[in-house]
Structure 1
């Protein structure tokens, strides 16, 4: 049943409305929305909600740094590589006009992928052709800049250093009428949006309203990160700005090098299962030297480290299917990683947050606050749908690795995996296929783009190309640093292939 009444099912065990909460209800609560979490999903949701609500309060458990961009615990992956694909860049620019220029002015890099990169795919090196725009910056800079732009709207304010403790029931005992903060303070609101990410307590809070836990789909490839910053060394011959050496099932190790604000490189090493990268200084370089190409190691071997390696391991794909629940409380929506999170190696998290905010904007554009609260169930479904394509990309690729825990791939997934291997092999040699592939990867184009007859003919015409060949140390368009011998050193450091 998909109606805007949200929850018309009779219940025999309902939480009763709190008389004290009713007596203390803010007389303007009907024109007030609360967003839990000041990450990308929460800030963009607040910007959208400010178009329909007179007041929007963003509740954030962290103390938010003032002035210079700085790390905060609520963004635990912020010390690792982040990518904002072109679709996300465009959507955030529409919501916050001028922000792209401000980010670039503060040191962010707006590049073309793969043209500006050395990119070794599971098949071969991409040629330096135009594919999709990508914005690279430290997550701290993105966090600070987006927050500043959002808070230019006088309807939005932030309550920092204030964890949320639970939801407040409305007079009917079934709807959400606000949020309780740690310490007992209550904020009355017509709508509460949970954008607290991987630490979301929405399932437990809904259980207090009598709702069963949602079904959960989970795939975990046991991917690990290890990252550190380097000063960018001088190299007049360098014609690339970033690098990606991908792993594949026979050698599940990779690495990415990205330019960052502050004239730095951020290097993130990647590995699955027992190939998870180390965090000790010397072992960091040894792991980099063991990749399918020595290019990343050659880039950093003489660079000055600016930080010690930092690990990250919480990379599982997990979808909490709130959109499938039979009943749903009016006045409550779960967005972003709190509902569906992905293996971050594909770089889709921030773009999906922007897509969810776009879906939210479409759903509420003609509604008043009371109507928005009543439409919560539909909004939950429509905003969650923004995760469908990146979920398919992440899980189908993760299922290639034998270490991955989760439901086994069905026949349709295996066919898709086989076809996508042919797409990637074709994209390495055919600029037209590369453009379509990066259009889908950047979430700018529909996956159907890769299945139209013209593209399929181009892909299948290259069926003789091996999908997992031995590859050259460097692409034809860019060699190693002058005078540097790498072959013997690399051969000694390569680990055995998976299964050996």
Structure 2
């Protein structure tokens, strides 16, 4: 897969790449006037999607400017308002880790040195699926770190490229375009400044104003598909208590339609646990500190509650409710201006409970890299419509996963499931039940969930035979408080005192 024909690796040698920028004085950012658009790309938003897009564009554009509304700290990882969900659990699936490492070689080691961890899931977790407990099987690797650490580290690595700079504390207010609106020529900032660019990329996330901006220059707004399961998050940090007998690194208790409550516990740098409680509709978790533990105790297993009941809280609970799946279908528009792209959550966002947002951002950056690898800036701008369609396709699989699972819950608002979706839901219930007891099914299930394997992996004849051979297993059984391979705290304490 890694030969020149497919070019799965980002190309960083040869013409138009960043190592040539330092060889040509005329291409240095400080030697170009701000109004010169021909060699300039502007990325709106310094989240993960924007930073990775800037890294990729720097292979072809001598100058890349990232415009970020927030003031960015130079003192390391800190919370910022532009990523309000950063105080809740995030996971970077193995596919995302692999792609970001390709774009920014050595970054995984830097994250681990700063306190991030790479864990095998579900082997190193207590994971109660909607069907049953996963056994200690290896499914996929996940990188766990605070969003603040991840963004700060990625930003630092991207800025090592002299072609990229960030202007923080600046807000885009609209697009600049030619008289006929067919070409975007830059952006207008809120303070009135006009910033010329050959290419503008909107990576401003859930608050993107791109539909209104397109309308202003004579283009239609995209159609929108939306599914909202009314999932609520409430999260809190805890100090990790000493427990030499603890044999797991994280806990995930999933809800299901008959009890739509769940919770996840994950380790972070700084000897912290981040605990996020989740629930749908009227089961949304409370925000009051005194109600946090009782909600944790109400889950399908006491494992998460037992872990934190005597742990020291390090923060007050924080809520997040904006969790709907929403796809703005820019890829369907027949008219699209040259020189404009929309990436990341600005185009398609998912219910964050499935943990796909950051990995999809990396997949979109990879798709962008493949599309522009042989193009100069002018041809990249002219190919914007094709590039928009290609980068949008990476959302298809995680969208299917998120929406088909959300549609299991009666409170979900959105287009009703068609017959194919209902059949898929029934089959995936069988897959989940089989994955709890069959290592082969589990490996393939987590390969798809981590976006490493295509969904067809679960539909090939060998997998289907293994899944159907487990049809005697109930899809929603009563489950034990703890998995067979892990004893409850009281049992472990009794064993130590014996």
TM-score of the superposed pair, with normalisation by structure 1: 0.91
1:57 aligns with 2:71: no
Say which structure, 1 or 2, has more relative contact order (CA 8 Å, 6+ apart): 1
Secondary structure at the counterpart of residue 56 of structure 1: strand
Q: CA deviation at 1:68?
A: 2.6
1:133-148 aligned within 5 A: 133-148=141-156
CA distance in 2, matches of 1:27, 1:124: 60
Q: Which residue of the other structure, out of 283, 287, 298, is the alignment partner of 2:306? A: 298
CA distance in 2, matches of 1:26, 1:426: 59
Residue 39 (structure 1) aligns with: 47
Aligned mates of 1:194, 1:152 — CA distance in 2: 22
**Which residue number in structure 2 is paired with residue 9 of structure 1?**
none
Is residue 181–residue 218 contact of structure 2 (8 Å, CA) maintained in 1? no
Is residue 248 of structure 1 aligned with residue 256 of structure 2?
A: yes
Q: Which residue of 1 aligns with 2:403?
A: 395
Aligned residue number for residue 468 of structure 2? 460
Give the conservation status (yes or no) of the 8 Å contact 2:245–2:492.
no
> What residue in structure 2 maps to residue 80 of structure 1?
88
Residue 173 of structure 1: how far off its partner (Å): 3.5
Task: Indicate the RMSD between aligned Cα atoms, in angstroms.
Answer: 1.2
Residues 346 and 454 of structure 1, relative CA distance in 2, 3 Å threshold: same
Cα distance in 1 for residues equivalent to 2:487 and 2:276: 22
Matched, 1:385 2:403: no
Question: Contact 2:99/2:362 (CA < 8 Å) preserved in 1?
Answer: yes
Match of 2:115 in 1: 107
- What are the Cα deviations for residues 432-477 of structure 1, in whole angstroms up to 9, with x where unaligned? 0000000000000000000000000000000000000000000000
Instruction: Give me the whole-angstrom Cα distance separating, in 1, the residues matched to 2:73 and 2:121.
Output: 32
Q: Distance in 1 between matches of 2:207 and 2:325?
A: 14
Aligned to 1:414: 422
1:330 equivalent to 2:330? Answer no
Matched, 1:357 2:375: no
Partner-residue secondary structure (3-state), 1:383: helix
Check conservation: 2:228, 2:413, Cα contact below 8 A. yes
SS state at 2:38 partner:
helix
Q: How does 1:178-197 map to 2 (within 5 A)?
A: 178-197=186-205
Alignment: residue pair count: 462
Contact 2:35 2:195 in 1 (8 A): no
Superposition deviation, residue 171 in structure 1: 5.4
1:29, distance to aligned residue in structure 2 (A): 1.4
**Aligned partners of 1:305 and 1:422: how far apart in 2?**
39
Q: Which runs of 5+ in 2 are unaligned?
A: 1-32, 494-498
User: What SS is found at the alignment partner of 2:490?
Assistant: coil
Give the Cα separation in 1 of the matches to 2:401 and 2:385. 26
CA contact (8 A) 2:66 2:165 kept: yes
The answer for unaligned runs of 5 or more in structure 1 is 1-24, 486-500
2:482 to 464, 474, 482: 474
Specify which of 182, 186, 202 is matched with residue 174 of structure 1.
182
Structure 2 counterpart of 1:238: 246
